Amino acid sequence: MDELPLAIQQKLRGLPGAESGVQVVEVILEDGRIVPDVEVVNCTYVRDPSFQADLVADVRLAAGPPSTRRALIFLLVLVAGIFVMFYLLWHLKP
């Protein structure tokens, strides 16, 4: 396990989940690549050996799953809009 830079450790302490001891975050490397679902232990050590911890430029919380409720609302609005469009075209007389 590699130790993260001190500035990154300070940011992790402010993120939710720090009190549990293990955080799952997305790591942004200095070259712009994003490494998803990285486990950080006690805001200090990284469990993912695929990169060097000194190349970490930033961290952010992993994105949550997409909202099913928002997707259904969008779909209903889209279908309603299509029905309204065809209704108005049907009543349109040249």
22 - beta bridge partners? 41
Q: At residue 14, what is the residue type?
A: G
Q: How far is CA 16 from CA 8, 25, 28, 62, 76, in A?
A: 14, 11, 18, 11, 34
Mean pLDDT by 10 residues, the chain (94 residues): 80 80 84 84 78 80 82 96 94 76
Overall pTM surpassing 0.85 (yes/no): no
Q: How far is CA 86 from CA 76, 82, 83, 91, 93, in A?
A: 16, 6, 5, 9, 13
What does the domain layout of the chain look like in residue ranges? 2-91
